[in-house]
Amino acid sequence: MATVLVTGAQQGIGRAMALAFAATGADVAVNYLDDADAAEAVCAEIRARGRRAVALPGDVREVATARALVQQASEALGVPEVLVNNAGIFPRVPFLAMEEAEWDAVLDVNLKGSAFCGQAAARAMVAAGLPGCIINLSSGAVRGNPLGAHYASSKAGLIGLTRSMALALAPHNIRVNAIAPGLTDTAQPRFGNDEAELADMARALPLGRMGRPEEIAAMAVYLASAAAGWVTGQVYHINGGSYMP
């Protein structure tokens, strides 16, 4: 494995993925939005593992930025053979109170950003004659969420995007899959839930606990590996048994 680009990699699942790929021998481009110190700390951990890393600021909702991230990663580390579309936002808002700008912001980051980062990465892979792998982060929220109609819609849209990209890119030997995490121990579920509420939510899961970011990252490493060479267009629900489609 040569170069991996992970969006939104300064914390949480993205950080775990960046470190997991570095552990397999990859060089990693760490995209972040607004926390340069956190991104540089991730890069330092990657370098401590003997791999190269570069921190790349940028808001993936901007198409020009999505394309620039792939170009910058290519110049610093080589054309990415793996892209993880992890960047996402989930501002809670009741459906009846939702404004157009709130809807647009979530769809722009979560869905449009993934589409155009994926397009840019695939174009670079094709131009370089490289096989590749794109992993999109969906969510167990595809079941619906009363405070996240925009979020659930974006994550459901990512499943359609994943399948469409998989069909379009298969002739180029680029595989595209999605991971849909359930309740995972990151900052995201702590918005609007205190620790006692999180503990109750975790106990209600069939496996009785929250997932760890490293467990989501392990699936990404598998999907990018030769062991998954005949896997494309699939959605993997990693959720402790909370959702069994």
- Residues marked as catalytic: 151
- Residue 33, SS3? coil
Looking from the CA of 164 toward its CB, the CA atoms found within 13 Å total 10
The distance of Cα 217 from the centroid of its chain, to the nearest Å, equals 10
In DSSP terms, which residues pair with 133 in a beta bridge?
Answer: 82, 175
Q: How far from 231 is each of 72, 138, 177, CA to CA, in Å? A: 29, 17, 8
The token pair that represents 243 in the structure block: 């959702």
Cα(69)–Cα(30) distance, integer angstroms: 10
201 residue type, one letter: M
Fill in the amino acid letter for 25.
G
At 223, list the tokens: 């999907």
